[in-house]
Amino acid sequence: MKIAIVCYPTFGGSGVVATELGLELAHRGHEVHFITYRQPVRLALLNSNVHYHEVNVPEYPLFHYQPYELALSSKLVDMVKLYKIEVLHVHYAIPHAYAGYMAKQMLKEQGIDIPMVTTLHGTDITLVGNHPNYKTAVSFSINHSDVVTAVSQDLKEETYRLFDINKEIHVIPNFIELEKSRNESHIDCQRSVMAQKEERIITHISNFRKVKRIPDVVKIFYKIQQKIPAKLMMVGDGPERVKAEYLCEELGISDKVIFFGNSNEIDSILAYSDLFLLPSETESFGLAALEAMAWSVPVISSNSGGLPEVNEEGVSGYLANVGDIDTMANRAIAILDNNETLAAFKENALTVAKKFDIAQILPQYESLYQNALKS
Ligand code: GMT
C-alpha cells in the first residue's frame, strides 16, 4: 500500500509512535510518505519506501497566525495525486484530522476518494481538543474520519465521554520494537557517568509539562534516596524543568540528580536504569513507561488514564493514586531494596513489554487500512 503519515515531528510520544509505525510499514514493503513541517526526530534514513515531504508555511505580515492547516491540506492533495497515495493516516486530531478532511474533500472534487485513518493519542482529546474553542472542529473531524483508533481503552472511553462521537473507535495500543530497543551493541554511554556502583539508577523521561507532575518525581526520589543510595536521571525538557532544578537545590539533592535535556541517549540511559517514575496527572498510554519496560526497567506510576493497561500492578511495577508520593516512594523502595526483588521485577517488566511488540500490533493497522480501502 502507499500510505501518507501526518504527525508532529518532535520528541512527543505521538510523533514517535507515528514514525516507528511508518518505518515498520516501510520495512514490510509498503511505501510510506511522512508529511509534516520538519523531518521527524526518529526518521534518520530515507529510502525508496520512506519519503519525507515538508510542509512550508509562507510568512505573511497580514496573518497574526500562520495558516498551517491550509498549507498541510494543500500539500496532502498534491502528494496524494503525485505519488498515488492510497491511505491517509493522521496522528493527533488537532489540526491533522481537520486538515486531512479538507484534503479529502478537495480530492473528491477531482474524482479521488482516499480513506482517512485518525489516531487519537491523548492530549488531543483530554487536554487540548476538549477546549470549547476547539471542541466543535475536533468532533467534526473525528466523525468524518473513515476509521478512528485510540491508543488505549481508557482513551476510547474518554473520547466518547467528552465528545459527541458517532463513529466506532478501535483500540490499537502503542507498541515497541523490542529487537531494535534492546540492541545493546549501540550502548556506549558508561554507567559510571551516571552513578556509583552501589547506587540505584532511577529515571524519568518526558516533555516536562505540568501534566507529568515533575515536582512529584523529585519528591518521590527525595524519599527513595533517604533509604537507598540512588541517582535520578531527568531526561527531556519543558516548562517545568527549571522549577524542578530549584526544587532539587531546595531539598539538597542537586548532586544526585542529572538533567539531560532532550537527549538522543535514551536507550543508553534506560539500559542502566533500575526504576522508572511516571506519576502523571493523566496519561492516555504512557509510551515512555513501555520503553522503559522494554529495557527491563520496572515502573512506578500513577493509576490514571491508560497507565493500568501498560503497567501491571505488582508485576511490572506498582501504581498509586495521582499525588500519592508516599505510596509511590514506599513501593519504589520495596522494589529497589533487595537484589532478588529487583531482578524479579526487571524480568516481569520485560515480559509485560513483550505483549506490546510491534510484530503483534502492526498487522492491526494493516488490516484497518485494507478494510478502509475496500469500503
Ligand atoms: O504529553 C505527552 O506525553 C506527549 C503526548 C503526545 O501527544 O505526543 O503523548 C500522548 O501520546 C502518547 C503516544 O500515544 C501517549 O503515550 C501519552 O500517554 C500521551 N500523553 C498524555 O496522554 C498526557
CATH number of 14's domain: 3.40.50.2000
Could you tell me if 99 and 160 lie in one domain?
yes
Could you tell me if 202 and 137 lie in one domain?
no
Closest ligand 1 atom to 287 CA: 16
Sign of CA dihedral 278, 280, 220, 248: positive
Half-sphere exposure of 272 (CA within 13 A, CB side): 23
Could you tell me if 16 and 143 lie in one domain?
yes
Could you tell me if 224 and 84 lie in one domain?
no
* Integer Cα distance of 100 and 39 in angstroms: 19
Instruction: Specify the DSSP class assigned to residue 194.
Output: H
Could you tell me if 370 and 318 lie in one domain?
no
CB neighbours of residue 171 within 10 Å: 16
Could you tell me if 154 and 205 lie in one domain?
no
Could you tell me if 258 and 117 lie in one domain?
no
pLDDT recorded at residue 183? 62
Q: What is the span of the domain harbouring residue 245? A: 179-354
Closest ligand 1 atom to 280 CA: 23
Could you tell me if 247 and 323 lie in one domain?
yes
Residues with beta carbon inside 6 Å of ligand 1?
A: 12-14, 17, 92, 121-123, 151, 174, 207, 209, 211, 282-287
Could you tell me if 274 and 254 lie in one domain?
yes
Ligand 1 centroid, distance to 316 Cα (angstroms): 20
- Among candidate residues 263, 261, 310, 264, the one with its CA nearest the CA of residue 283: 310
Could you tell me if 165 and 186 lie in one domain?
no
What is the distance between the terminal CA atoms of the chain, rounded to a whole angstrom?
A: 15
| Ligand 1 atom 12 nearest Cα | 13
pLDDT recorded at residue 259? 97
Ligand 1 centroid, distance to 261 Cα (angstroms): 18
Grid look-up 502528494 returns 79
Ligand 1 centroid, distance to 27 Cα (angstroms): 25
Q: For the complex shown, is ipTM > 0.90?
A: yes
Could you tell me if 284 and 227 lie in one domain?
yes
Could you tell me if 265 and 137 lie in one domain?
no
Ligand 1 centroid, distance to 15 Cα (angstroms): 9
Count of domains for the chain: 2
* Integer Cα distance of 283 and 27 in angstroms: 29
Ligand 1 centroid, distance to 31 Cα (angstroms): 26
Type of residue found at 70: L
Closest ligand 1 atom to 306 CA: 18
pLDDT recorded at residue 46? 73
Type of residue found at 21: L
Q: In the chain, which stretches have pLDDT less than 50?
A: none
